Amino acid sequence: MRTMTIAALATMLAGAPALGQGTNPAASGAAPARPANAAPAKPAVTAPARAAAPKAAPASTPESRSAAALALSHEPTFDEGTAQRIKEAALSYSDLAVRGGWPTIPTDAKFVIGVAGPSDDLLRQRLIIGDDLAADKTSGPFDEVVAEAVKRFQVRHGLASTGTVTPRTIAALNVSVQKRIKQLEASLERLESTNFSFGQRYVVVNLPATFAEAVENDTVVRRYRVIVGKTEKPSPTLTAEITGVVLNPTWTVPSSIARSEISAHMRKDPTYLSRMHMEVLDGHDNPIDPHSVDWSGARTPNFTVRQQNGTFNALGAVKIDMPNSYSVYMHDTNQRNLFSDDYRFDSHGCSRVDNVRDLAAWLLSEEMPKWNRAAIDAAILTGQHQEIALPNKVPVAWIYLTAWMTKDQTIQFRNDIYDQDTQLLEATAEEAAFFNQAANHPLTAHLAQ
């Protein structure tokens, strides 16, 4: 029997559960009031107050970024109950759609704390419907309470949690409930075709969210920003096993990159390979003269380009081995500044991991203290290439969820960056139409069973 669609389930169940309350543990409150001083007995002549110099923002580091990411939640994006919770969220949103959904915020609306505006109550209504704001906060100007609710909404939608209603925030607020239901349907459809063996310890990369999670005993113990494939070179969804960690790795350039990008560089600059510490190897890993190679890019390369290990290496200092049919993996990078960006779709398909040394230490925790973080850092400093096999393989899944609900009932949404939701739902609709037609034809009725 084919899986019943969420829309059909929604018509069967009334009174869907309430929407999940978003949380934001990192949200900060207002500064405490300063105690008032007693009035002086006599007027005092004082020098004009000098404005305090603004404090410099703390530098963003791999450790601070991963700590901030983990502080958002310890609930896994993907566990054995994710599919069921997505069904529950979709039913809740379907019930909300029947009741009219939520209001639209004018795109030119302005919200300033303490200043009344014409769209203030509309924003409150929108946040209340999404369970980001308490139900009794229905009216009043934009204030700190509403700003905190905006932060909760922003966290749930992968936006910077500033509490400021930016154009991107308004755009996310105005996505219709019908589209959110379709995101939940597509995410559920995709999960139901995923075969993953959850272990006590496993790793998940959710591509649309650009985050990786290390899960242990059903709790996220590490979370990292990741850079995944560009829209024109999307990272694949897959399940595999992490088998080892490579320190100071070399990089064997994929033939597609050698044919297009490397060849183009060599046509413009014959010194490119030497400047990038790359060598050309034949089928037996023997070095060959780059000048003897056809760099026209017209044919599939019959050679291998390999970059030596070092600070210039595209894989950085750490590579995580996870054999799979797509030949992708997780690794460090020599462009770590990209992790500070909100938009992190910039790779050729592999997943670059922020603070990857910390992930390597977690993967090798069964080898403590031999391979703790300090030992990993020391080994990298030697510059020596070293391959470390895990005593027990760790399951890893790269998934594509633009909508999900965690165990604390928080519903999350992300942009369909690779347009996979639309493609999947169109294919599913075509399949449904086929089976509907088959059911009405005597020769194909059995196909609809």
Q: Which pLDDT score is estimated for 41?
A: 39
Q: State the catalytic residue, choosing from 265, 350, 385, 441.
A: 350
Say whether pLDDT at 25 is over 80: no
pLDDT band at 427 (very low <50, low <70, confident <90, very high): confident
* pLDDT, mean of residues 406-423: 95
Non-local (6+) Cβ contacts of 335 within 8 A are none
Containing 433, the helix (H) or strand (E) segment is: helix 420-439
Burial, 300: exposed, middle or buried (Cβ in 10 Å; 0-12, 13-18, 19+)? exposed
Tokens encoding 210: 């650009």
Structure tokens at 218: 């059903």
**According to the model, what pLDDT value does residue 433 have?**
59
> What pLDDT digit, counting tens, does each position of 195-227 carry?
999 999 999 999 999 999 999 999 999 999 999
Q: Per-residue pLDDT for 390 more than 70?
A: yes
331 labelled catalytic: yes
Per-residue pLDDT for 436 more than 70? Answer: no
What stretches of 71-136 adopt beta strand conformation (E)?
none
Of 329, 356, 322, 321, the C-alpha closest to 235 is 329
Give the pLDDT confidence score for residue 59 in this predicted structure. Answer: 76
Residue-wise pLDDT tens digits, 350-370: 999 999 999 999 999 998 889
φ, ψ for residue 217 (rounded to 5)?
55, 45
Q: What is the pTM of this model?
A: 0.81
pLDDT digits (tens, 9 = 90+) for 74-84: 999 999 999 99
Q: Measured on CA atoms in the order 287, 288, 290, 294, is the torsion positive or negative?
A: negative
Confidence of residue 190 (pLDDT cuts 50, 70, 90): very high
pLDDT band with cut points at 50, 70 and 90 for residue 5: very low
Q: Which amino acid is at 264?
A: A
Is a pLDDT exceeding 80 seen at residue 38?
no
CA dist 221 and 394 (Å) reads 15
- For residue range 266-288, list pLDDT tens digits in order: 999 999 999 999 999 998 889 99
Angle (CA) 236-239-240 rounded to 5° is 115
Q: Does 284 qualify as catalytic in the annotation?
A: no
b/e sequence 350-382, b meaning 16+ C-beta within 10 Å: bbbbbbbbbbbbbbbeebeeebeeeebeebbee
Catalytic residue, candidates 74, 277, 284, 331: 331
Selection from 174, 167, 162, 25 nearest residue 101 by Cα: 174
| pLDDT score for 358 | 98
